[in-house]
Structure 1
Amino acid sequence: MLARLMTARFGAAVLAMIVVVTASNFLVQFPVQAQLGPINLADLLTWGAFTYPFAFLVSDLTNRQQGPQVARIVVLVGFVIALGISAYLSTPRIAFASGMAFLVGQLLDISVFQRLRTWRWYLPPLVGSLIGSALDTLIFFSLAFAPVFAGIDAITGHADGSLGFPAPWLGIGGEVPLWTSLASGDFSVKLLCALLLLVPYRLLMGSLAQRAAVAA
């Protein structure tokens, strides 16, 4: 185990995880200010939705090449460091919500991936990412913006706002609290990204396997 942690590949995975999570924690504060026909994208998307799915790519590749134990360590190290950086770049409530969502979602993804490890190559990362993303989205948007968790603002001494004011669901439906529309839009993008990221996953999986064979 120690030998697997003292490698450039492990360091690269940790660094990638830190960059992805920190960027996502910062970008989730900014809705996408654009209009798509009658739909105002600011009512259903934040920029963080486009960067966060790469965290699953990092953990899935690590799991595939180095096993679930190393993948969990990458997640835990990335979690601790990124949480500190995110607390500086964003607000305490968002940093806390993101940290909890990230930790639970990533560890669930690793567990699901491991259970499906012997299935077709695309099923472990796809199913793990979708299940992990669903729980991650629910935890993050609830803790960060739902009025029921507004007590976190009182504890941290910083008011983030609940985003509880009404907005059309996904820009076209009936009025709902804005944070629920953002959560729905966020998860929709994660679904799309989970499919698109199968391409770099497959390419990188093959490349890493070839390097490991050469090194052996």
Structure 2
Amino acid sequence: MLACIAAGAVLSAVLAAPTLALASAAAFAVSELADLLVYQPLRGRGLLRAVLASNAVGAPLDTIVFLTLAGFPVWSAVPGQLWVKAWATLIPVAAVLAAHALLRHRLRSDRP
């Protein structure tokens, strides 16, 4: 995970203006580390709980750190940012849950 955070920071530095690269790298590092700190202890209690809890912590941190360091208006943008990030979490989680339910159903149906 730490290697991914470092790679994200390097990509930001290469692809963006210095202010945006710093804001992006800092936001990415802070939010991913927070995600990791929340996700790891909860993973044993279920993937869904761990993913939702870590995203509930990481997404607001990412938004606030990035917008603040990039010099954008923070509080007017936070609701929209969090709305989009919530859907970006909920849609894949719903797809995984649906696939898991379908697989469970098929496995039950294949039993004699």
TM-score tier, shorter chain, comes to 0.7 to 0.9
Q: Write the distance in 1 (CA, Å) between the matches of 2:96 and 2:20.
A: 29
Contact 2:8 2:28 in 1 (8 A): no
Which of 27, 32, 35 aligns to 1:106? It is 32
Q: Residue 197 of structure 1 corresponds to which residue in structure 2?
A: 92
Q: Write the distance in 1 (CA, Å) between the matches of 2:44 and 2:86.
A: 23
Q: Write the distance in 1 (CA, Å) between the matches of 2:14 and 2:40.
A: 34
Contact 2:28 2:62 in 1 (8 A): yes
Q: What is the TM-score with the length of structure 1 in the denominator?
A: 0.41
Which runs of structure 1 show a deviation greater than 4 angstroms over 4 or more consecutive aligned residues? 200-204
One-letter amino acid of the structure 2 residue matched with residue 143 of structure 1: L
Q: What is the TM-score with the length of structure 2 in the denominator?
A: 0.73
Would you say 1:94 and 2:12 are equivalent positions? no
Paired residues, what number? 100
Q: Write the distance in 1 (CA, Å) between the matches of 2:35 and 2:81.
A: 18
Contact 1:130 1:194 in 2 (8 A): no
Q: CA deviation at 1:122?
A: 0.9
Distance verdict in 2 for CA 1:78–1:185, change over 3 Å: same
* Higher percent of residues as helix: 2
Q: Write the distance in 2 (CA, Å) between the matches of 1:128 and 1:191.
A: 12
CA offsets 1:96-122 (integer angstroms, 9 cap, x no match): 111111111111111111221222331
Structure 2 unaligned blocks of 5 or more: 101-112
* Higher percent of residues as strand: 1
Q: Residue 60 of structure 2 corresponds to which residue in structure 1?
A: 134
Q: Write the distance in 2 (CA, Å) between the matches of 1:99 and 1:195.
A: 25
Question: RMSD across aligned C-alpha pairs, in angstroms?
Answer: 2.4
Q: Residue 103 of structure 2 corresponds to which residue in structure 1?
A: none
